[in-house]
Structure 1
Amino acid sequence: MKIHPSFSIQGRTISFDDLKEVGYSLIKEGEEFEKHIGEFLLDWIDDLPTLSVKTSGSTGAPKTILLKKEQMVNSARATGNYFNLKPGATALLCLPATYIAGKMMLIRAMVLGLNIYLVPPSSYPLEGITDSFDFGAMVPLQVSNSLSKLHQIHKLIIGGAPISNSIREALKGVENSSYETYGMTETITHIAIKPLNDKEVEDATFTVLPNVELTTDDRGCLVINAPEISDETVVTNDVVQMLSKTKFNWLGRLDNVINSGGVKLHPEHIEKVISNYIDTPFFVAGITDNELGQKVVLVVEDAEIKDIQKTIDGISEFKKFEKPKTILIAKEFQRTDSGKIQRSKTLHQILKL
């Protein structure tokens, strides 16, 4: 694979011929996160046309899929064009290189000629960092813990987990350009972008990147046709509202839909309401109910039921059947390696006890 002549790591220009030495050096002498970066660099320059990538396992069992390197390059170029990333622009890698989001930050740097800085993946990625960067990517937890320093990343993409209302509100006061992304491992990260703190955009919707065609199937779920990044049409379980051929609203996961008294409820919508009132980690789910078929339950991590119940009783925005009928407490949520809550595993663990 070709490497842009402007590609550098922390100010040091790296050529294709340098990558093997850099990769081995990181594996041999680097910290744990740097070893994963080194392993990825060696995989990237081998003779194979594909790369093995792990899915996170947030909605099912984690699996390994093969992605074409050529299509990963196409994805990197699409991101570069959308965000106008020029050779020499600085980028921050604060995500693990074991998953697609971290790998793609490295590929963007190599393809677009960025100067990428490596920091350990953590919940506080900007702690102790005084430099500013043109581009970066974070998960919501990192964003929440970095709000006072986010202006150091001029263009920031956020993905990997739902963004709470409190984070959305806080981002409006940040002097940078932050964007919510929609995508998955199978689409080589994002295929759609939503601005989060553009002062001129209210209730912004997702807009697809060029060369991506969207439709919905008979379930109302998104179907993605993007030949430059995937040989096959990607049929998702994401229920969406199509506003045009290029714009859509994400409503929630079909696998999470709760049928309560014949009314279909999206937990993600209910969570959006509750997130205005609760800071502790939580999620909404449906469990079997003799009368309603399913009832809405609120699952909270390590909290007092009395305090949470009082808060829930004070919320007036719930529509019919949306108010949680039961509150369940988990000492600790089941999570993937990348920090996403595993809803079904957590719920099963609680109900089994």
Structure 2
Amino acid sequence: MNPTPHILHPDFTLNGLQFEAVEELLDFAGELRREGDDHEIGIGKFIQKWFNDKSYITVKTSGATGKSKKIRLEKQWMVNSAIATGTFFKLGAKTSALLCLPPNFIAGKMMLVRAMVLGWELHVVAPEKDALTQYDNDYNFAAMVPYQVLHSIKALAKVKKLIIGGGPISAALEEKLQQVPTEAFATYGMTETSTHIAVRRVNGPAKSDLYAALPNVKFDLDHRGCLVIHAPEILSEPIVTNDLVQLESPSSFRWLGRYDNLINSGGIKLFPEKIEEKLSAFIKLPFIITSEKDPELGERVILIFESDRSGSVPNYSEAFASLDTYERPKRVYSISKFPYTETGKIKRADVLQVLQRYR
């Protein structure tokens, strides 16, 4: 039988502090709220909400694929998700773990839940880009966004197992990860699923382009070829996503791109995310691949990059040479500032609206 949300594992520690009872942890959470830095205040607030008498937590979605909204997650679902992660990665009591993500989003909240439920020794630090480099500690487990990983490459040997989420891993970053001993995993999930429900290994002998399901998660496809998630222990009903995938088995898939981003150019279906992955090795500025109307092709591929520099557009001929003919952008545009979500993801739909104002 799974633990309930109001049970605190006796082996749980927070920055070296151990708590004899929930009441002692709640006192500490109150201190964090009164005297802590911003991330510590967020941790204090979450701990207090976790142990209140409500059966759910209210969280915000990222807003990367639409307007950010508040949703309810049952605490028991979050407990079940924590147990699934511990089982998949073989992380039991006394696992040393690093929390360097903001606690106001689901990824940071779930690191706290895993630690409290599974009895981890959690080290909490400010969510800075190079947080890992600032401490001498070694960790069994950590979670980061790609930007943090990029700024922590030289220190990653401190971490045995690393999950990376919150955005795509560029080809250049994935290449760097081949040189580190850390077991690095890309994650697939969303706020609604209490973070990841599938992972893929991005380095080492087990490297794969397939996402493998966590325990008690199964996959299916809808009529569009989009992923349907069946996870009765963390969802009240299946979730139909807008993620186009190639289903390899009921528990594994290859991610292709977003249905709402799909480009049909001259009858050829193109996935912007796959084109971006190829170009990321050449283009260092923030950019996206999207489309605009074309009288002959229906839609034509365009590249939009973020740059506040005026003048000529950089020469991307070498980058475009890496693409198939139909994938090559027919137009290149620049805007001074992309619209971003609070978690640093580019709002694709909003970028096109901004572009229209520039033209």
Q: What is the rounded CA distance, in whole Å, between the counterparts of 1:307 and 1:118 in structure 2?
A: 45
1:71 aligns with 2:71: no
Out of 185, 192, 201, the position equivalent to 1:186 is 192
Aligned residues: 352
2:279 and 2:319 in contact (8 A); partners too: no
1:235 aligns with 2:240: yes
Using the TM superposition, name which of 188-197 and 302-311 deviates more: 302-311
Change over 3 Å in CA distance of 1:307–1:193 after alignment to 2: farther
Aligned amino acid, residue 33 of structure 1: H
Q: Give 1:137 shift.
A: 0.3
SS in 1 for 2:174: helix
Change over 3 Å in CA distance of 1:329–1:340 after alignment to 2: same
1:183 and 1:190 in contact (8 A); partners too: yes
1:280 and 1:303 in contact (8 A); partners too: no
Q: Give 1:313 shift.
A: 4.9
Change over 3 Å in CA distance of 1:310–1:118 after alignment to 2: same
Q: Give 1:308 shift.
A: 6.0
Q: Give 1:312 shift.
A: 3.5
Q: What is the rounded CA distance, in whole Å, between the counterparts of 2:173 and 2:96 in structure 1?
A: 25
Using the TM superposition, name which of 188-197 and 288-297 deviates more: 288-297
Using the TM superposition, name which of 324-333 and 94-103 deviates more: 324-333
Q: Structure 2: which 5+ residue stretches go unaligned?
A: 1-5
1:223 and 1:234 in contact (8 A); partners too: yes
Q: What is the rounded CA distance, in whole Å, between the counterparts of 2:64 and 2:74 in structure 1?
A: 23
Q: Give 1:202 shift.
A: 4.6
Out of 265, 284, 293, the position equivalent to 1:279 is 284
Q: Give 1:99 shift.
A: 0.7
Out of 46, 51, 57, the position equivalent to 1:40 is 46
1:102 aligns with 2:108: yes
Aligned amino acid, residue 16 of structure 1: V
1:309 and 1:327 in contact (8 A); partners too: no
Q: Hey, what does 2:32 align to over in structure 1? A: 26
Aligned amino acid, residue 21 of structure 1: D
Out of 236, 247, 253, the position equivalent to 2:252 is 247
| CA deviation string 1:263-297 (max 9, x = no partner) | 11100111111012112211111112222221111
Q: What is the rounded CA distance, in whole Å, between the counterparts of 1:342 and 1:260 in structure 2?
A: 22
TM-score (norm. length: structure 2): 0.95
1:92 and 1:133 in contact (8 A); partners too: yes
RMSD: 1.5
| CA deviation string 1:188-241 (max 9, x = no partner) | 11111101112x235441111111110000100000010000011100000000
SS in 2 for 1:321: helix
Percent of aligned positions with the same letter in both sequences?
Answer: 43
Using the TM superposition, name which of 124-133 and 157-166 deviates more: 124-133
Q: What is the rounded CA distance, in whole Å, between the counterparts of 2:60 and 2:25 in structure 1?
A: 23
2:200 and 2:207 in contact (8 A); partners too: no
1:89 and 1:134 in contact (8 A); partners too: yes
| CA deviation string 1:28-62 (max 9, x = no partner) | 00001111111100100000000001001001000
Q: What is the rounded CA distance, in whole Å, between the counterparts of 2:239 and 2:285 in structure 1?
A: 34
Change over 3 Å in CA distance of 1:76–1:308 after alignment to 2: farther
1:316 aligns with 2:321: yes
Q: What is the rounded CA distance, in whole Å, between the counterparts of 1:160 and 1:263 in structure 2?
A: 29
Q: Hey, what does 1:55 align to over in structure 2? A: 61
Q: Hey, what does 1:341 align to over in structure 2? A: 346
Q: What is the rounded CA distance, in whole Å, between the counterparts of 1:164 and 1:31 in structure 2?
A: 32
Q: Hey, what does 1:326 align to over in structure 2? A: 331
Q: Structure 1: which 5+ residue stretches go unaligned?
A: none
Q: What is the rounded CA distance, in whole Å, between the counterparts of 1:86 and 1:307 in structure 2?
A: 56
Q: Hey, what does 2:307 align to over in structure 1? A: 302
Q: Hey, what does 1:5 align to over in structure 2? A: 10
1:305 and 1:329 in contact (8 A); partners too: no
Aligned amino acid, residue 247 of structure 2: M
Q: Hey, what does 2:158 align to over in structure 1? A: 152
Aligned amino acid, residue 243 of structure 1: E
Q: Hey, what does 2:3 align to over in structure 1? A: none
Q: Give 1:175 shift.
A: 1.3
The structure 1 segments of at least 4 consecutive aligned residues displaced by more than 4 Å after TM superposition are: 303-309
1:352 aligns with 2:357: yes
Change over 3 Å in CA distance of 1:308–1:108 after alignment to 2: farther
Q: What is the rounded CA distance, in whole Å, between the counterparts of 1:330 and 1:149 in structure 2?
A: 35
1:216 aligns with 2:234: no
Q: Give 1:345 shift.
A: 1.0
Q: Give 1:171 shift.
A: 0.3
TM-score (norm. length: structure 1): 0.96
| CA deviation string 1:322-350 (max 9, x = no partner) | 10111111212111111111111122112
| CA deviation string 1:82-109 (max 9, x = no partner) | 1111211111111111111000000000
Q: Give 1:315 shift.
A: 3.4
Q: Give 1:320 shift.
A: 3.3
Aligned amino acid, residue 168 of structure 1: E
1:305 and 1:327 in contact (8 A); partners too: no
Q: Hey, what does 1:116 align to over in structure 2? A: 122
1:126 aligns with 2:135: no
